[in-house]
Amino acid sequence: MAELLVELFSEEIPARMQARAAEDLKRLVIQGLKEANLAFESAAAYATPRRLALVVEGLPQQQPDLSEEKKGPKVGAPEQALNGFMKANGLDSIDQAEVRETPKGNFYFAVRHAAGRSSAEVLPEVLSKAFGDLPWPKSMRWGSDSRRWVRPLHGILAVFDGQGLTGTFEMSPDREIVFGIFTQGHRFLAKQVIDGGGIGDQLERTHLRRDGGDVRIFTESVDLKTITPESLKVSFTVNCFEDYRNKLRITKVMLDPAERRSIIVKQCQELAGAEGVSLKDDPGLLDEVTGLVEWPQVLMGRIDKGFMDLPAEVLSTTMRSHQKYFSTENADGGLAERFLLVSNMDAPPGGDLAKTIVAGNERVLRARLADARFFWDQDRQQPLSARVPALEEIVFHAKLGTVAEKVSRLQSLAVAISAHVPSADRDQVRSAARLCKADLVTGMVGEFPELQGIMGRYYALNDGEAPAVAEAVAEHYAPLGPNDACPSAPVSVCVALADKIDTLVGFWAIDEKPTGSKDPYALRRAALGVIRLIVENKLRLPLARIFATAQAEYPRLAATSVVDDLLDFFGERLKVVLRDQGVRHDLIASVFAATKREQADLNGGSGEVDLVRLLGRVSALDQFLDTEDGSSLLIAFRRAANIVRIEEKKDKAVFDGGASPARFQQQEEEALYFALGTMVKETKACIDEERFVEAMTAMARLRQPVDAFFDEVTVNVDDAELRENRLRLLKQIDHSFADVADFSKIEG
């Protein structure tokens, strides 16, 4: 069994694309190997800023031989059929076909034996196709090349079983990249290794030249003493993955991103610990920095004390966004004066090179923080409330108006929501809704958009606004995802709900709903945020009424109500939220349908949904179905529903209206009828008072009369009136259960 090693060597690949690109390369090559009928044992992909690498272990030296057979006409078939069979299978004579006996007689079979090709011949085709199919979020063309790629692609290393593969990858009709057995180390540090002869005599200068109609590789020996920093095309050969990985390490390249990440964390923690501070956790920045360096070296710098009075978020965002520095924290959790940077040079802390690098980064940081200081000082010269009119200049959406119009809607909607949020001060809610978007027109948020809301809190406090108002301004975007903290302060909850519900209703009104995997306005995330705000704060919020109130704030849009459609969307989102908690999606759908129908009957219109109440019913139903009585009743319900459905279809009738006690002939009919009546009264009272477990207990008492009915009563009797009355009684089971849940939606 042999090993395949592949490397795509290019200019720096954006850090955010590396991991996905490496996995895509692995996926596409594996797919090609399977299509080529080449089995393998394992595959692993790696990425650095300048290379994607893949190693596949356990490949055979050639494809297995294949036999293909096709059944033809029956022996003695007409000549026309035989000729067609021979032509389709490349036979010169019918004698070349095999005759086989089958249960239906003797038939001709065309059998082909195809010898497997050598893997070294097949692999270049597999690789070239995989390279061409490699997807990139963004790509470019350069020079005269017609093929798009993420960054200029310089070389392709392809080694199979210790030997280079013969192949090319076309970049344009006039240029191909020839597969080779060479690669390069660190852009700068490899020069130091070369000067010291660190990788022996395996150096060569490579050239690609067209020789007639073919592109050929030309190499020439390189005297190590003549290497200069400009000699960037000096490369070294490799013959296997171990050789490749070892020589990369010698030339200052750590191939495995996991190793680079681990070293960065370790060095950060060691340097921070030595200074009595701790590393501020930032997984996103860690992933990005890991993709920016091939030979990581962490160094520590200092923030000038004159900038430490800036908001901590401003300091950390300036360092993170512009400079990719890690922040550090004091023992009390406050931002420390130290920062950590990751260099792509071999510069141990304390050395001259390290001091030069740190000094340069501190100088750049001072300039960045001076800009931040300017925005901070300038923004505070004008009250946040005075910036609200400027929101007229920002379009929220072409069909939904400006941000100023959105703020106007938010004030009304947030106040309406406050009636259902305990301890929410209406005046503070109104103020917070008015100010929540005002920091969008500040200089600081213009420079650092990720600080929107956060800066609004600082400016609101500076203006003397109530702390609850300032906090609501900061928190009204939350929660932004499943791992984001959910606001719990009453004013914050009101404004956060209003912001998300206004957005959802508006986009529903202009028919800009999520479709398939597309959700450009993050409406699914907004719905999940609304659900979390309601459930985690246990709010008794009447969603249908709030949706209608929100839609009334859009008088210029179509009058068609979006309430029912939006409620159904929330039902689907609720399944997503509760799926991770182990709650069955069919139970949610069952109770959701019953709740909407119940409220529609009460209100004479759209169904209402109280998520907290709904979840209580779902929990009780889940417990009930886990009991023997619950599972037995579910079976009985389905049996009754199936009988009624079949007979209604046969008779083209609907057996609604309830059974008549006067037509009962057996005591089991009478017992079931009165048990259903009693159960309906008890469950309705329990559900109205939110005693959902007791409602299920009342349902459980139906088991005995239902079982007795099916054991002793024949439904489809010859007496038409008696049959119809019994079918109506079975239909009553469906109607009686419907007050608790729509049992037709329950699976299993």
Residues 161-177 have pLDDT tens digits of 999 999 999 998 888 99
pLDDT at position 600 is: 58
Q: Which structural domain range is residue 177 located in?
A: 2-61+119-250
Structure tokens at 719: 């007496």
Residues 219-276 have pLDDT tens digits of 444 444 444 434 444 578 999 999 999 999 999 999 999 999 999 999 999 999 999 9
How many CB atoms sit inside 10 A of residue 75's CB?
15
With a cut of 50, which residues of the chain have pLDDT below it? 198-233, 602, 604-606
**Among residues 379, 406, 429, which one ends one of the domains?**
379
Q: Nearest CA to 609 among 563, 544, 686, 528?
A: 544
Tell whether 644 and 593 lie within a shared domain.
Answer: no
**Among residues 596, 620, 644, which one ends one of the domains?**
620
Tell whether 395 and 492 lie within a shared domain.
Answer: yes
**Among residues 354, 379, 404, which one ends one of the domains?**
379
- Quote the CA–CA distance of 678 and 674 in Å, as a whole number: 6
Domain assignment present for residue 440? The answer is yes
Domain count, the chain: 5
Tell whether 231 and 293 lie within a shared domain.
Answer: no
Tell whether 232 and 288 lie within a shared domain.
Answer: no
Tell whether 282 and 145 lie within a shared domain.
Answer: no
How many CB atoms sit inside 10 A of residue 714's CB?
11
Tell whether 635 and 730 lie within a shared domain.
Answer: yes
Domain assignment present for residue 278? The answer is yes
Residues linked to residue 592 through DSSP beta bridges, in sequence order:
none
CATH code assigned at 180: 3.30.70.260
- H or E element at residue 297: strand 297-302
* CA within 13 Å, CB half, 405: 17
Tell whether 85 and 126 lie within a shared domain.
Answer: no
Sign of the alpha-carbon dihedral angle for 513, 519, 521, 524? positive
Domain assignment present for residue 592? The answer is yes
pTM (two decimals)? 0.76
Tell whether 129 and 163 lie within a shared domain.
Answer: yes
Tell whether 388 and 375 lie within a shared domain.
Answer: no
Using an 8 Å Cβ cutoff, are 282 and 327 in contact? yes
Tell whether 669 and 683 lie within a shared domain.
Answer: yes
Q: What is the largest CA-CA distance in the chain?
A: 112
Domain assignment present for residue 67? The answer is no
pLDDT at position 195 is: 54
Using an 8 Å Cβ cutoff, are 488 and 471 in contact? no
3-class SS of residue 381: coil
Domain assignment present for residue 66? The answer is no
CATH code assigned at 536: 1.10.3210
- Write the single-letter amino acid at 166: T
- Quote the CA–CA distance of 516 and 528 in Å, as a whole number: 17
Domain assignment present for residue 324? The answer is yes
Domain assignment present for residue 425? The answer is yes
pLDDT at position 636 is: 84
Residues 670-679 have pLDDT tens digits of 999 999 889 8
pLDDT at position 748 is: 65
Tell whether 573 and 687 lie within a shared domain.
Answer: no
Structure tokens at 500: 């998300």
Tell whether 237 and 291 lie within a shared domain.
Answer: no
Domain assignment present for residue 85? The answer is yes
- Quote the CA–CA distance of 105 and 127 in Å, as a whole number: 47
